[in-house]
Amino acid sequence: MNSRRKRVAVLISGRGSNMSALINAAIDPTYPAEITLVLSNREDAQGLSVADEAGIATRAIPHGGFKTRDDHDAAFDAALTAAKIDIVCLAGYMRLLTADFVKRWQGRMINIHPALLPSFKGLDSHARALAAGCRIHGATVHFVTADMDEGPIIVQGAVAVLKDDDEASLATRVLALEHQLYPAALKMIASGAVRMSGGATVFSDDVTNPAQTDPLISPAC
């Protein structure tokens, strides 16, 4: 009944706490994906040593060594293909990907963004949510398409914005939620419960609303 576990690469540029959440989830042999590669555009990305200590293959391909963005992404693509990767998870990967690369991995590449999309795309989402007076904030996992933070939404989680919140306190609560959301979203894709089709997220018949089966709304609400 069980098909093989999907081979996953996580792309990082920094600390890699979401990467760690995925690695930890995949320790369970019944989880439908295994993290087989962590790839970074920065040799000094903290997450690389964390992944290495967890026994996962790591590779840094610094973008500085390439003439064009296309050349760099082609090197990433070659590394992913050589590792027989099925699914790519962007986890704090801080470089825009080329249209060709995105097209090649479309439907098989997901990202986590620290806001309730389609609000607050791009950087500084927590500061902007506070400045806008939001009472609810959160995080989103979505399929990656050519436009940044635009792809079809897979799962979202929310936290209440508390009256004394500053950027750091809000970021801390959202990050804790991200660490629940990302493994949940990868599980749905790797198990076939969700896929991207016709520019939309399509759930299989036995999934009605992922928020009903996985309580992803923070208790702080």
Residue 178 C-beta: closest distance to ligand GRF, Å: 5
The strand order across the sheet containing 136-143 reads 57-60, 33-40, 6-12, 87-90, 109-113, 136-143, 153-160
Which segment (27-35, 112-120, 161-169, 206-214) binds ligand GRF by CB under 6 A?
Answer: 112-120
Active-site residue identified among 113, 126, 137, 142: 113
Name the residue whose CB lies closest to ligand GRF.
Answer: 92
The stretches of the chain forming alpha helices (DSSP H) are: 17-25, 46-53, 69-82, 99-105, 125-131, 167-190, 210-213
Number of other CB atoms surrounding residue 38 within 10 Å? 28
Cis peptide before 62 (omega within 30 of 0): no
Nearer to ligand GRF, 1 or 123 (CB): 123
Number of other CB atoms surrounding residue 36 within 10 Å? 18
Nearer to ligand GRF, 49 or 84 (CB): 49
Question: Looking at the chain, how many residues does it have?
Answer: 221
* Residue 212, C-beta contacts closer than 8 angstroms, at least 6 positions apart: none
| Distance of alpha carbon 111 from alpha carbon 123, whole angstroms | 14
Site map 10..29 versus ligand GRF, x via CB under 6 A: --x-xxxxxx----------
Nearer to ligand GRF, 136 or 202 (CB): 136
Q: Compute how many residues bind ligand GRF; rule: CB under 6 A.
A: 14
Site for ligand GRF contains 114 (CB under 6 A): yes
Residue 17 C-beta: closest distance to ligand GRF, Å: 3
Interstrand relation of 153-160 and 136-143 (parallel, antiparallel or unpaired): antiparallel
Nearer to ligand GRF, 74 or 95 (CB): 95
According to CB under 6 A, which one of 38, 50, 92, 184 is a site residue for ligand GRF? 92
Residue 179: active-site member = no
Residues making contact with ligand GRF (CB under 6 A): 12, 14-19, 91-92, 112-114, 175, 178
Residues labelled as active-site residues: 113
